Amino acid sequence: MLQASTIRQEKDRILAGLKKRHFQDLDIVDRILALDDDRRKHQATGDDIQAEINRLSKQIGICSNPVRQPKRTPSKTR
């Protein structure tokens, strides 16, 4: 299976290989690249949303406990 980045970088070579194999629907390469562009846009949007969630979660943690104390490990006594 070819990676989308390989298809993007070597589109001419891939089209030549498909023609050599008498593949009929060569427009599929452009559709694959268009779908990958959409996926990248949605991934970037999702990453931005996750970064905002992380930033807000950190603020909530700071607001709920303004004086953070380090966790203490219980000492063993015998």
User: pLDDT tens-digit profile of 15-67?
Assistant: 999 999 999 999 999 999 999 999 999 999 999 999 999 999 998 888 887 66
pTM above 0.85, yes or no: no
**Pick the residue with more confidence: 74 or 30?**
30
Q: How many CA atoms lie within 13 A of 77 on its CB side?
A: 1
Which tokens sit at 19? 């023609």
User: Alpha carbon 36 to chain centroid distance?
Assistant: 12
